[in-house]
Structure formats: structure tokens, C-alpha cells
Amino acid sequence: MDKIKKLNNGIEIPMLGLGVYLSQDGAETVNAVTWALEAGYRHIDTASVYGNESSVGLGMRESKIPREEIFLTTKLWNDDMRKGRELEAFEASLKRLQTDYVDLYLIHWPVENFEKSWKVMEKIYASGRAKAIGVSNFKEHHLESLLAVADIVPAINQVEAHPLLNNNGLAGCCRSKGIAIQSYRPLGGPKGKLMENATLNKLAEKYGKTPAQIVLRWDIQRDFVVIPKSVHKDRIISNLAVFDFELLPEDMEIIDSMDQGHRFCADPDNFDF
Ligand SMILES: NC(=O)c1ccc[n+]([C@@H]2O[C@H](COP(=O)([O-])OP(=O)(O)OC[C@H]3O[C@@H](n4cnc5c(N)ncnc54)[C@H](OP(=O)(O)O)[C@@H]3O)[C@@H](O)[C@H]2O)c1
């Protein structure tokens, strides 16, 4: 199973990265990023709204891993789209991240008139300061509206996805349009209790792995790029250790069958932030 995926413009993204949502700005995020890079991660997912871009930048620098070896994602926040501040927001993110480019820049949520913001994203892409551009929290109808005006097809759609909301249907739609799919909140988040699920624990026992490793492996085998978050060194290390085993087709099906359409995060058709 490849650790790397080629996006629709030829850029390569590591299949597993570190998420930093709710990682506190300061030592917590700096440590998480440096531990991850030490452990072999080469992909970090942040966003301006997480308030920790400076710490992500610092962690990357402290790691001494060359910038060009790291795949860095950040995201354009909703208020910046509403106020037409896309370019300023992007430049502020670069400054906080202490870098002159990002590997992937995403529209964070499909706020009204996202088509207009996409045109600015295309300009940012043309400037070479984002190696790829994409979207997040887009449903099929959002993608249709975007593609109607887009000169550049998004490289990625980053959406909530985990065993209780597998989003296999949306993934198929994205792939048919050349858009890779990425799952956020793969472990069910901080209060989801997904890691306590009996089916996942039974599979974990069968393979001699943790429930988190089972879910992350399921994501990789179904070709979802995945970005688990942790601020604990042991978990950061173990979450990456998913390339030395394979789930049997029947076990992939068991996890697929856990879907309940359950969202831990907001519905992209109904959010108020
Ligand atoms: N585009 C979007 O709208 C959006 C929305 C949400 C998230 N995201 C991105 O996706 C990333 C991942 O999603 P998420 O942070 O919401 O949730 P998540 O990765 O599903 O879950 C993170 C939670 O799981 C815990 N955890 C980590 N590894 C574990 C393990 N091996 N066993 C048990 N628990 C474990 C973490 O605790 P500790 O930290 O204490 O270890 C944390 O409480 C985010 O960090 C962010 O980068 C994007």
C-alpha cells in the first residue's frame, strides 16, 4: 500500500498526516509537530482558525527537516471569505507559518459565494505559493456549483469521515471528478468515544493493533488520505504505524457496515459559524 498519493496536478501527498485542531498554540503544538516529524510524518494539517499556525511553523523549523520534504496544509477561514479578504488571509497564514508557500490551501467551509473565493484561490495557485488548492466540507451539490465556474479542479475535498459516517458515496463522486478525498475527525474526535466501539476493539484484538490503527488502516486501504490529531508522543508514533499490516476484505466490509450517517461536526448544509 503506497504511503504517497498523487493529486490531480501531479503533486504528491503523504496518505497520513498530523492534524492539529485543538492543539494549543505554544509548546503543545510545537511538540506535537516536532515529535511527528521525528517519527516520520511528512504531512501537517492546520488552519488559520485553529490559532496555531505560528507554532506549526516553529515546530517545522525546530525539526530541522527541510521545508520541501514536508507537505503543509492550511485553510481559508469563513469570515475572510465573507469579507473578500482571501488574499490577505493567505498572506497572513504564510507569515505565521514562516514559509513562502503551502503545499495545499483549502476553502474551509462552503460559505455563500464560495465560487468567488475559488477564483482568488486559483490566482494564489497560479502565483506558485500554493502547490495545490482544494476544498473542505463540500457535498456533491457544492462541488457541482464550484466546477461550473472553476478553471482548476480542486485537488482534494477534506470531509468528516469515520466508521459512523464513511462518506463512501461522496468519495466516489469526488474520484469521478478527479478530486482526492481526505478524512478529518477519523478517530471520532475528542469526545466521540469511537475508540471504545466494541467492533473496532474486536478487530484491534484480531490484528494485534489499536482501534485507532484499525480505523486509520481502513482509511488508507479505501484510498482516503487521513490526518489523525494527537498531542501525545506515544499516540503520534503509534498512529503512523499502519503500513505493516492489511485488513482483510471482510473486515473492511465490517467497518463499512458501521455507517449510521452520524456527524460529530456540523453539517455543511447547516452551519452557523
Ligand atoms: N476541515 C475541517 O473542517 C476539519 C474539521 C475537524 C478536523 N479537521 C482536521 O482533521 C484533524 C483530525 O480531526 P480531529 O482532531 O477533529 O479528530 P480526531 O483526529 O478524529 O481525534 C482526535 C482525538 O483523538 C485522540 N486520539 C488521538 N490518537 C488516539 C489514539 N491512538 N487512541 C485514542 N485516542 C486518540 C486525541 O487525543 P490526544 O490529542 O489527547 O492524544 C483527540 O482527542 C484535525 O486535527 C484537523 O487538522 C478538519
- Rounded to the nearest angstrom, the distance between the alpha carbon of 72 and the centre of ligand 1 is 17
Given the CA of residue 211, which atom of ligand 1 is nearest to it?
32
Given the CA of residue 238, which atom of ligand 1 is nearest to it?
31
Residue 269 lies in a domain: no
Residue 259 lies in a domain: no
Q: So which residues are the catalytic ones?
A: 50
pLDDT digit string, tens, across residues 163-181:
999 999 999 999 999 999 9
Concatenating the DSSP letter of every residue in the chain gives: --SEEE-TTS-EEESB-EE-TTPPTTHHHHHHHHHHHHHT--EEE--GGGT-HHHHHHHHHHHT--GGG-EEEEEE-HHHHHTT-HHHHHHHHHHHHT-S-EEEEEE-S--TTHHHHHHHHHHHHHTTSEEEEEEES--HHHHHHHHHH-SS--SEEEEE-BTTB--HHHHHHHHHTT-EEEEESTT--TT--GGG-HHHHHHHHHHTS-HHHHHHHHHHHTT-EE--B-S-HHHHHHHH--SS----HHHHHHHHTT-----SS-BTTB---
**Domain region containing 170:** 4-188+223-233
Q: For position 2, what pLDDT does the model report?
A: 78
Reported pTM:
0.98
Q: Residue 179's domain is classified under what CATH number?
A: 3.20.20.100
- Rounded to the nearest angstrom, the distance between the alpha carbon of 21 and the centre of ligand 1 is 7
Residue 64 lies in a domain: yes
Ligand 1 contact, 73 CB (< 6 A): no
Residue 248 lies in a domain: no
Residue 80 lies in a domain: yes
Ligand 1 contact, 138 CB (< 6 A): no
Residue 27 lies in a domain: yes
pLDDT digit string, tens, across residues 33-78:
999 999 999 999 999 999 999 999 999 999 999 999 999 999 999 9
Q: For position 95, what pLDDT does the model report?
A: 98
Residue with CA at minimum distance from ligand 1 atom 27? 230
Residue 23 lies in a domain: yes
Residue with CA at minimum distance from ligand 1 atom 41? 230
Q: For position 15, what pLDDT does the model report?
A: 98
Q: How many domains does the structure of the chain reveal?
A: 1
pLDDT digit string, tens, across residues 183-238:
999 999 999 899 999 999 999 999 999 999 999 999 999 999 999 999 999 999 99
